[in-house]
Amino acid sequence: MAKVTDTVAALALPVVEKAGCSLWDVEYVKEAGTWFLRVYIDREGGVSIDDCEAVSRPLSDLLDQADPIEGSYTFEVSSAGADRTLKKPEHFAKFQGAEVEVKLYRPREGRKDFVGTLKGYQDGDVTLEINGGEAVFTKQEIALVRLYLRV
C-alpha cells in the first residue's frame, strides 16, 4: 500500500503544474490531536494566495473522489516559504551554495544548530562550509535542514 503522501503527491502534481507551479512537498502530520494534510507549492518569483487557491479547489475535489485518507483531516495548500525545509535530493541540488541551517537531534560540540553554505549532499549526509572549514552531518543525526534567512 502506497504512503498517503505519495498518493496525494501523484494526485496533486498535474493540478499544481496546471496552475503554473511546482510541487515542493506533501506532508501528513498529527498536531495537537488533529491530522493535517499539507501540500507545499513553489513558483519562480513566489507563490500568491491565488496560486494556492488555484491548486486547493481542484485538488480538494480530487481528494474527495479518491478518498486516500480514512478519517478527518485539515487540508492546506501553501507556499514552500523562503525558509523552506530541504528533504529531497533535488531540493539539495537546487540550493547547492545557499546558506542553510542544520538542526541535529543531539548536540555536537555543545550545539544542535549549525549555519553554513551547503556544499554537498549524498545519501542523506549533508556537507556545510562553516567559517572556512567543512562539516559533514550524517542522515542519522539530522533532524531538519532548511534555508537560512538572515534578518
- In order, the DSSP letters of 67-135 are --S-S--EEEEEE--TTPBP-SHHHHHHTTTSEEEEEEEEEETTEEEEEEEEEEEETTEEEEEETTEEE
pLDDT in tens, 68-98: 998 899 999 999 999 999 999 999 999 999 9
Question: Per-residue confidence at 1, pLDDT binned at 50, 70, 90?
Answer: low
CA distances 139 to 29, 77, 116, Å, are 21, 28, 17
For residue 65, the 8-state DSSP code is: H
pLDDT at 151: 77
pTM: 0.86
pLDDT in tens, 15-44: 999 999 999 999 999 999 999 999 999 999
Question: Per-residue confidence at 150, pLDDT binned at 50, 70, 90?
Answer: confident
pLDDT at 2: 66
Query: How large is the average pLDDT for residues 39-52?
Result: 96
Structural domains of the chain sorted by starting position, each given as residue range(s) with its CATH number in brackets: 4-79 (3.30.300.70), 89-147 (2.30.30.100)
Residue 46 phi/psi, 5-degree rounding, is 105, 155
